[in-house]
Structure 1
Amino acid sequence: MKKLFFLFLFWGIALTVFSQNIQIKGVIVGGQDSEPLPGVNVVVKGTTNGTITDLDGQFTLNAPSDCILSISYVGYKSQEVSVKGNRSLRVVLQEDTETLDEVVVVGYGVQKKSVVTAAISRVTAEELNVAKPSRVEDALKGKVSGVQITQSSGQPGSDSKVRIRGIGTVNNSDPLYIVDGMPVDGGIGYLNPVDIQSVEILKDAASAAIYGARAANGVVLVTTKTGDGGTGKGLGKATVNYNFSYGWQNPWKKKSVLNATEYMVIMNEAQINDGNAPRYTADQVANAGKGTDWQDETFNYDAPVQNHQVSISGGGEKVSYFLSLGYFNQEGIVGGDYGKSNYDRWSIRTNSTYNVFEDNSRKFLNKVRVGVNVGYSRGKSTGIETNSEYGSILGSALTFSPLVSVYASDTEAANILAAHPYAVKDKDGRVYSIPPSGFQEIANPVAMLHQPRSEKNNEDKFVGTFWGEIDVLPGLKFKSSYGFDLAFWGKDGYEFPYFLANQGKDVTQSSVWSEMNRGYKWQVENVLTYNKTFASNHNLTVVLGQSAQRYTYRQLGGSDYDLLENDPSKANINSAIADRDDERVYGGTGGYNNASLASYFGRIDYNYAERYMIQATVRRDGSSRFGPSHKWAVFPAVSLGWNVSNEPFMENRPDWLTSLKLRASWGKNGNENIGNFRYTSLMDGGQNYYFGGGYVVATESKNGVMQYGSSPAAIPNPDVKWEESEQTDLGFDIRFFDNALNFGFDYFKKKTNGMLMDQPIPSYVGQSAPIANAGDMENWGLEFEMGWKQSLGDFKYSVNANASYLKNKLIKLGNASGEAIYENAGASGLGSYVKGQ
């Protein structure tokens, strides 16, 4: 019997040995797009041994070789995977449209949407690329409540203005843009929309407070795509995608204007009403017809727009990568066929992650990852003048007489050339007609398109982040990163002699100009993140970090006259031979500027069983743009959430009610958008002053001596400090019918104190206006979002709608009159802000 007992004991020991723990590595991706899924729960079935996937969808777990892994993720169907001794796994999760939720990117981390307590809106890659937009901002139009996006002009490639919850200040209401953790200047128009994984918009103070100083107008977080980390060795399996679109553009509606017959009739009526004889005879009216349709002559119908995008993504056990190349071209509907209103953009992106080592048998420093996200964009654009002495091309097309033909007759052409040898001609030498006498700020719009004038704009932009991440202890990660934003932009133009209309002067001298700008920003950040779950239901996340930034800017420009040849290929400043005594020659400009920002920040997130949530954030910023007494400022925030549907008393709620969450938040943000060193006085060279006279008293004049030198550039204000905005937000999110119908509501009130404004001073002072914290502004509003989604077999559809109500009010301007007028030459109140409006 003893022998039999020891035999069974030996077998038990052997079985224990053979089922010992192994290290399992895996990657979890979504089934629809094979994108890695962060935050997926991976647990050994029947135990509490588990982990979650990182931002690249990867996990490492020590578990028995014959165990079963239970894998679950909000919005996807749960799976059980038998390990069967495999040390490398690749799991594909399928969407569960009936419980679909999201992981939302927040500042320095991610959160499940179910526990988010702030006002954050998310737009996915699928939503962004439905309309194949040229710019990311255009793709966001109408998709997020409380966000207003307007294009500065209809010219291809023109910038868009983004306003989050209205105009928060008269100084600068642009939001802060963050791309893969790097703050970028000049917006996100340089990005290829196809490279973007998601865009999160942080609308309230609580969500934006982690960015403190620059977040008073909201934050736009952009996350670009990453590769699919696999389980194989080397680079793994690669996925190649190519997208192509080609379309045509046309004006959606022409303005209704008079044709030739109608024009003659109206002009005759005007003459008669003025007591004069009709200008046109009955025969002329009867034979006039439609005349020239200047809109048809001007518009570039069927203007093409095309987009090409190729990407390669994939990865293995050690590395994941995403590479892309994109080209976008848009031809303008006004001037595009003449090369005067076009836009081209090339873009290149490479994102990669490399697992340096991973060893879960160690109690500390068991995982090290490094990565790089770099994007380059080159944009070129040409434009048309919209406010010259002849007005604009479209303005002339709408007001030019339909009785005038596009080209002058032979007799008219001879007379025009005799008086104006530089009259505009087409490529075949035909002379364009000119306006009759009496017309002001009008020219032949087709001749304006042929005007020998061109200005080409260019922009090269590099934005990237290099980072490394270490798992210091279980649940504790340290991440260090270096980011940069390097931009070169400028313009080159020329103008050859020309004549367009009698009300303007003949341009008899050619000119050329060029300008180049360079901006460089670097950022170094170090962030500690601690995640821990206590007693199953107490979830804690702590973020502590430090950030340092520096920005430098240089500008150089020049112009000259009298080119050797009127040849576009030779139009550069070196080819100009104007008299060097001419004051217009070498109109050189140049400048240099720099600014620095140092920051410390922290955030604590706690939730109990995803039922009660609280988040507290604080950031301390120091900016070189303010004097020693006001350099530093602190920006706190707090938010609360209550998932009512997770309460025990809601277990028997109606089947049609899926979830209900209440939210509340309060916080402060800052604004430092002013010029550098406005708190002190700088010397400005190139100044002049008359000494010893130089004035006239009655009939007596005194002759002084002109002296050149330097003088203070502006009146300093050592007391200027941070502009601060304080915001309160109340909202709720509710879902019905197994998440098919969702509805969100937010009420917010925002008060901006100490707005940074230039103060008006008398022009005879001869100094630039000083800046001060002179005004207060208040805005409040309501936001509504609603969506419906459903799957019918393989057919899926969704309908979304949003609405906003916003009220802006300027409360204080810091002076008794309540008006701040910046230009008062000939027009009262021009460019003014009025208290109470």
Structure 2
Amino acid sequence: MKIKSLLLATALLMSTSALAQKNTFKGVVLDDLGEPVIGATVQVKGVKGAGAITDLDGNFVIDADANQTLVITYIGYKDAEIHPSANMKITLKQDDKALDEVVVVGYGVQKKSVVTAAIAKVSTEDLAGKSPVRVDNALKGLAAGVNVTSSSGQPGEGSKVRVRGTGTINNSDPLYIVDGMPIEGGLDYLNPSDIESIEVLKDAASGAIYGARAANGVILVTTKKGKMGKAQINYNFSYGWQSAWKKRDVTSATDYAILQNERAVNGGQAPVFADPYALTDSNGKAISGFGTDWQDLVFNDNAPVQNHEVSISGASEKINYYLSMGYYKQEGIVGGNYGQSNYERLSLRSNNIYNVMDASKERNFLNKLDVNVNMAYTRVKSTGISTNSEFGSVLGSALYMAPTLAPTVTDGNVAKSYYDKLEDPNVYDSEGKVIGTRDFYEIPRDANGNYYTIPGMAGTYQEMNNPLAMMSIPAAKNWSHKFVPKFSIDLQLWDNLKYHFTYSADLSFWGTDSYVASKYYLSGNNKQTHTSATKSSSKGINWQVENTLTYDKTIGKHSFAVVLGQSAMKNKSDYLGGSRWNLVNVNKPSIDYATGNYGVTSKSVWIRHRSSLV
């Protein structure tokens, strides 16, 4: 009886396995004209990772169960669903809605159905839910052929944007144009919530109207306008916390001691540590467990980040308005709690369109006049540590510091034997009498008044320093103000002939304030012999004037457009910087409040003109 039951169970298992077994299906994907669709995605519905891509002939091979459903997708075509069968022939139909979508191209707009150049569009719906800090971060994974990589983990740090790869060994950044105005310095000033759409012009045909400036691609940004109807008030708020998701594996104190002994013995020297299993730290205290985990000390876990956005928008027959304000603040996960790595941005925007005249129902000439007035302002404050460097940076030092070193000096005898001497300005003879003075230093201390450990005390670390001591030094403060005004007029001259005038500007002011409040000593390679204050400021003023005539005509299924335009631009930039030694009051660090001179005050001016006819 037991044998029969076992045979029956085995038969049932074999039957179930046979039913669940997947088969291999082949097929071809064609468009409505019978041409093969290259690169279409064939996916098993509801199953991640189970799919295929059609080849140059539209063919594909996929493993699936006969009862499952295949979903076929391709940009510009409607999705198709089908149950797998032998020698499938699938025809995709064009998505007319997608083809009717309007994209910005240079000095106008066109339907996707008539655009032959390589243009990628990212709409406000695509950006919804991403909550990017910067506009360039918003492009990640949303535009084909656009590679966006983070420069570093610094709060507010810009991304490296490359359109179809690196185009030159020098500056490969694309040309950024916001509401028709070329913007210098990237898109840091833009609040991502103010964006209506982003178009990326990727080839020579689409960017030809911008000339050589479009060699690395063009990114066109269109900001939002109001929608017809009553006023809409929107407020978005988010608050979160950030922590390092992974830490580097480093050796414990015991493993470190063993390796150091092996290195010394193999080099013909005496072992560094007498007993790797009975270690004492730089304060003479017994080390238990891992030792000093410098990464734990450096990382700022649960660093806060907050974002506030409010907008008021609406439109009527006479006015279209969009007003917004954004505030973003982020604390860095390395040095943020020391004031070393932080980012704060305040942005204001006002987009207004006024209909001065509309007599289109009465006549077909000089019948409509619109005036557009835009204003954007952004203020950014930030501090930052050295990034992408293993030599002398906070994080690089944290990875290289020995786990046998204590972060601070708590042993009074150790402090007196070496640290106190560094802070003593007197020179003594053999009897202990003062015979002169010398340069002295101030060793950074923690909140409890303990010296931070100098790593050179336990060996040569060269440019590596105690990362906690490094973060106790006042950070340089970066600041910037940016104004982007725009004034334009649209006048309907005759029938489909329209005149457009635009005056826009990009006014940027930025700089850095830093000071050295003490004659600190971090190591033999990192020390200061004077207090000082340093200040630098830059100014960039760009303006652009454009006049265009556009004629659009549609006859039946055919349409054509003619554009005649003139554009003129001027760029001017200034730089001024200087510094002084010997602060009178370290609590009021200022170049004007110092007694000595240091370095050379520098100033530079750069001017460029450009004009073109399109």
The TM-score with structure 1 as length reference comes to 0.57
Deviation digits for residues 523-562 of structure 1 (CA, Å, limit 9, x no counterpart): 110111111112x122111111110111111111111000
Q: Following the alignment from structure 2 to structure 1, what is the Cα–Cα distance between the partners of residues 147 and 341?
A: 26
Q: Following the alignment from structure 2 to structure 1, what is the Cα–Cα distance between the partners of residues 417 and 222?
A: 63
Post-superposition offset of 1:459: 0.9
Q: Is the 8 A contact 2:287 2:404 kept in 1?
A: no
1:575 has 2:577 as partner: no
Post-superposition offset of 1:149: 1.9
Q: 2:245 aligns with which of 248, 252, 259?
A: 252
Relative distance call for 1:269 and 1:171 in structure 2 (3 A) is: closer
Post-superposition offset of 1:128: 2.2
Structure 1 residue aligned with 2:295? 295
SS in 2 for 1:454: coil
Relative distance call for 1:282 and 1:393 in structure 2 (3 A) is: closer
Post-superposition offset of 1:313: 0.2
Structure 2 residue aligned with 1:374? 375
Q: Following the alignment from structure 2 to structure 1, what is the Cα–Cα distance between the partners of residues 175 and 523?
A: 49
Query: What is the 5 A alignment of 1:33-44?
Result: none
Moved more, 270-279 or 470-479: 270-279
SS in 2 for 1:425: coil
Query: What is the 5 A alignment of 1:100-119?
Result: 100-101=98-99, 102-119=101-118
Relative distance call for 1:163 and 1:412 in structure 2 (3 A) is: same
Structure 1 residue aligned with 2:161? 162
Q: Counterpart of 2:253 in structure 1: which amino acid? A: A
1:597 has 2:610 as partner: yes
Q: Counterpart of 2:568 in structure 1: which amino acid? A: A
1:241 has 2:261 as partner: no
Q: Following the alignment from structure 2 to structure 1, what is the Cα–Cα distance between the partners of residues 534 and 257?
A: 44
Structure 2 residue aligned with 1:64? none
Q: 2:485 aligns with which of 444, 447, 464?
A: 464
Flag the structure with higher strand content.
1
Q: 1:280 aligns with which of 274, 283, 303?
A: 274
Relative distance call for 1:283 and 1:370 in structure 2 (3 A) is: closer
Post-superposition offset of 1:501: 3.7
Structure 1 residue aligned with 2:462? 440
Structure 2 residue aligned with 1:564? 584
Q: Following the alignment from structure 1 to structure 2, what is the Cα–Cα distance between the partners of residues 256 and 505?
A: 27
Q: Is the 8 A contact 1:424 1:498 kept in 2?
A: no
Q: Following the alignment from structure 2 to structure 1, what is the Cα–Cα distance between the partners of residues 581 and 294?
A: 34
Structure 2 residue aligned with 1:328? 328
Deviation digits for residues 648-685 of structure 1 (CA, Å, limit 9, x no counterpart): xxxxxxxxxxxxxxxxxxxxxxxxxxxxxxxxxxxxxx
1:206 has 2:199 as partner: no
Structure 2 residue aligned with 1:483? 504
SS in 1 for 2:408: coil
Structure 2 residue aligned with 1:528? 549
Query: What is the 5 A alignment of 1:112-151?
Result: 112-151=111-150
Q: Is the 8 A contact 2:470 2:522 kept in 1?
A: no
Moved more, 96-105 or 334-343: 96-105
Q: Following the alignment from structure 1 to structure 2, what is the Cα–Cα distance between the partners of residues 501 and 390?
A: 14
Deviation digits for residues 479-502 of structure 1 (CA, Å, limit 9, x no counterpart): 111010000011110012244444
Q: Is the 8 A contact 1:416 1:423 kept in 2?
A: no
Post-superposition offset of 1:98: 8.7
**Percent sequence identity over matched residues?**
51
Structure 1 residue aligned with 2:434? none
Q: Following the alignment from structure 1 to structure 2, what is the Cα–Cα distance between the partners of residues 438 and 533?
A: 78
Q: Following the alignment from structure 2 to structure 1, what is the Cα–Cα distance between the partners of residues 168 and 479?
A: 30
Q: Counterpart of 2:604 in structure 1: which amino acid? A: G
Post-superposition offset of 1:151: 2.8
Structure 2 residue aligned with 1:454? 475
Structure 2 residue aligned with 1:393? 394
Post-superposition offset of 1:160: 2.2
Q: Is the 8 A contact 2:176 2:219 kept in 1?
A: yes
Q: Following the alignment from structure 1 to structure 2, what is the Cα–Cα distance between the partners of residues 595 and 365?
A: 37
Deviation digits for residues 456-484 of structure 1 (CA, Å, limit 9, x no counterpart): 11111111211010111111111111010
Q: Is the 8 A contact 1:390 1:504 kept in 2?
A: no
Structure 1 residue aligned with 2:308? 308
Structure 2 residue aligned with 1:420? 422
RMSD: 2.3
Post-superposition offset of 1:177: 0.7
Q: Counterpart of 1:398 in structure 2: which amino acid? A: L
Deviation digits for residues 770-814 of structure 1 (CA, Å, limit 9, x no counterpart): xxxxxxxxxxxxxxxxxxxxxxxxxxxxxxxxxxxxxxxxxxxxx
Relative distance call for 1:97 and 1:347 in structure 2 (3 A) is: farther
Q: Counterpart of 1:472 in structure 2: which amino acid? A: L
1:337 has 2:337 as partner: yes
Q: Following the alignment from structure 1 to structure 2, what is the Cα–Cα distance between the partners of residues 460 and 555?
A: 15
Q: Following the alignment from structure 1 to structure 2, what is the Cα–Cα distance between the partners of residues 170 and 387?
A: 20
Deviation digits for residues 610-654 of structure 1 (CA, Å, limit 9, x no counterpart): xxxxxxxxxxxxxxxxxxxxxxxxxxxxxxxxxxxxxxxxxxxxx
Q: Is the 8 A contact 2:321 2:352 kept in 1?
A: yes
Q: Is the 8 A contact 2:465 2:523 kept in 1?
A: no
Q: Is the 8 A contact 1:420 1:506 kept in 2?
A: no
SS in 2 for 1:588: strand
Q: Following the alignment from structure 1 to structure 2, what is the Cα–Cα distance between the partners of residues 119 and 282?
A: 64
Relative distance call for 1:386 and 1:167 in structure 2 (3 A) is: closer
Q: Following the alignment from structure 2 to structure 1, what is the Cα–Cα distance between the partners of residues 216 and 276?
A: 63
Deviation digits for residues 429-471 of structure 1 (CA, Å, limit 9, x no counterpart): 22111112322111111111112x3211111111121101011
SS in 1 for 2:452: coil
Structure 2 residue aligned with 1:187? 186
Q: Counterpart of 2:383 in structure 1: which amino acid? A: T
Q: Is the 8 A contact 1:229 1:319 kept in 2?
A: no
The TM-score with structure 2 as length reference comes to 0.77
Q: Counterpart of 1:449 in structure 2: which amino acid? A: M
Give unmatched runs, 5+ long, in structure 1: 1-73, 76-95, 231-236, 602-837
Q: Following the alignment from structure 2 to structure 1, what is the Cα–Cα distance between the partners of residues 319 and 488?
A: 14
Deviation digits for residues 697-756 of structure 1 (CA, Å, limit 9, x no counterpart): xxxxxxxxxxxxxxxxxxxxxxxxxxxxxxxxxxxxxxxxxxxxxxxxxxxxxxxxxxxx
Post-superposition offset of 1:163: 1.4
Q: Is the 8 A contact 2:463 2:526 kept in 1?
A: no
Q: Following the alignment from structure 2 to structure 1, what is the Cα–Cα distance between the partners of residues 338 and 499?
A: 55
Q: Is the 8 A contact 1:437 1:502 kept in 2?
A: no
Structure 1 residue aligned with 2:352? 352
Post-superposition offset of 1:287: 5.8
Post-superposition offset of 1:158: 1.9
Q: Following the alignment from structure 2 to structure 1, what is the Cα–Cα distance between the partners of residues 553 and 512?
A: 54
Structure 1 residue aligned with 2:413? 411
Q: Is the 8 A contact 1:444 1:500 kept in 2?
A: no
Deviation digits for residues 558-582 of structure 1 (CA, Å, limit 9, x no counterpart): 1100001222xx111001101x5xx
SS in 2 for 1:296: helix
Q: Following the alignment from structure 1 to structure 2, what is the Cα–Cα distance between the partners of residues 156 and 486?
A: 24
Q: Is the 8 A contact 2:321 2:351 kept in 1?
A: yes
Q: Is the 8 A contact 1:149 1:161 kept in 2?
A: yes
Q: Following the alignment from structure 1 to structure 2, what is the Cα–Cα distance between the partners of residues 388 and 203?
A: 33
Relative distance call for 1:448 and 1:588 in structure 2 (3 A) is: same
Q: Counterpart of 1:594 in structure 2: which amino acid? A: I
Q: Following the alignment from structure 1 to structure 2, what is the Cα–Cα distance between the partners of residues 349 and 597?
A: 28
Moved more, 145-154 or 325-334: 145-154
Q: Following the alignment from structure 1 to structure 2, what is the Cα–Cα distance between the partners of residues 483 and 165?
A: 30
1:547 has 2:547 as partner: no
Structure 1 residue aligned with 2:31? none
Post-superposition offset of 1:190: 1.2
Deviation digits for residues 293-319 of structure 1 (CA, Å, limit 9, x no counterpart): 000000111111111100000021200
Moved more, 496-505 or 406-415: 496-505
Q: Counterpart of 1:227 in structure 2: which amino acid? A: G
Structure 2 residue aligned with 1:519? 540
Relative distance call for 1:467 and 1:287 in structure 2 (3 A) is: closer
Relative distance call for 1:387 and 1:137 in structure 2 (3 A) is: closer
Query: What is the 5 A alignment of 1:698-709?
Result: none
